[in-house]
Amino acid sequence: MSREMGELTQTRLQKIWIPHSSSSSGLQRRRGSSVPQFTNSPTMVIMVGLPARGKTYISTKLTRYLNWIGTPT
């Protein structure tokens, strides 16, 4: 059983990673397989904790990092 691993490409307008397939039947071949599918679904991070424990500090650092790598926040 051989698997062809496609490379990931990034669109210019949206900063999401999408799988790149070299064959035209890539979608039909991938359907039902265990290859992870990348979608444009949002991810939510919830910070909980006692007052003055660094939630805002970590949230700010995480936001700056995600913006730095190109993920819109």
pLDDT digits (tens, 9 = 90+) for 2-19: 455 556 555 555 556 666
Sorted by where each begins, the domain ranges of the chain are 1-40, 42-73
Residue 72's pLDDT band, with cuts at 50, 70 and 90, is confident
- Residue 52, pLDDT above cutoff 50: yes
For residues 63-70, give the mean pLDDT: 91
- Per-residue tokens: 66: 């995600």
Enumerate the H helices of the chain as residue ranges.
26-30, 55-68
For residues 12-32, give the mean pLDDT: 57
Q: Are 40 and 16 in contact (CB under 8 A)?
A: yes
Bridge pairing between strands 17-19 and 8-10: antiparallel
| Cα–Cα distance, 27 to 38 (Å, whole number) | 13
Residue 73's pLDDT band, with cuts at 50, 70 and 90, is confident
